[in-house]
């Protein structure tokens, strides 16, 4: 069964670049969508974006100018980079599998497997 684990620095200074990695185990990375979500007290759960195993990406327009999601199939990992961080980027960051579930011929996307989350604090 697929498991996800986030890793990366927990403390950043303003203007630095946030870099997180999600390691995928128990399944293939080469057949699904892989996403990042963050959760802060102020903004709740926020979709950051996803990457498909083919390399195509989708980003939240609110973060698009600062975010990059990439995939390393050889390492079964995918990564998040967020540039020019501020205190507003302080949050718990989750990686999740974004799976398409077929119901009566319709495809529904849902985040069915989540990592445990990693806390990132931006402070000078």
> Closer to another protein at the Cβ: 20 or 96?
96
> Closer to another protein at the Cβ: 41 or 124?
41
The least distance separating another protein from the CB of residue 116, rounded to whole angstroms, comes to: 6
The least distance separating another protein from the CB of residue 80, rounded to whole angstroms, comes to: 15
* Nearest by Cα to 22 from 75, 69, 77, 70: 77
> Closer to another protein at the Cβ: 53 or 114?
114
The least distance separating another protein from the CB of residue 5, rounded to whole angstroms, comes to: 11
Cβ neighbors of 64 (< 8 A, separation 6 or more) are none
- Interaction site with another protein (CB under 8 A): 44-47, 58, 60-62, 94, 96, 101, 103, 106, 108-112, 114-117
* Nearest by Cα to 29 from 95, 90, 93: 95
The least distance separating another protein from the CB of residue 115, rounded to whole angstroms, comes to: 7
How far is residue 51's CA from residue 70's CA, in Å, rounded to a whole number? 7
> Closer to another protein at the Cβ: 31 or 124?
31
């Amino acid at each position: 069964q697929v498991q996800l684990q986030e890793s990366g620095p927990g403390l950043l200074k303003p203007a630095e670049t946030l870099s997180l990695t999600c390691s995928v185990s128990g399944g293939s990375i080469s057949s699904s969508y892989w996403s990042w979500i963050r959760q802060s007290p102020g903004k709740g759960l926020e979709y950051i974006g996803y990457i498909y195993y083919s390399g195509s990406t989708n980003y939240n327009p609110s973060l698009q100018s600062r975010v990059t999601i990439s995939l390393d199939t050889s390492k079964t990992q995918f990564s998040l980079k967020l540039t020019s961080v501020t205190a507003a980027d302080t949050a718990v960051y989750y990686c999740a599998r974004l799976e398409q579930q077929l119901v009566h011929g319709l495809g529904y996307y849902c985040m069915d497997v989540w990592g445990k989350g990693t806390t990132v604090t931006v402070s000078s």
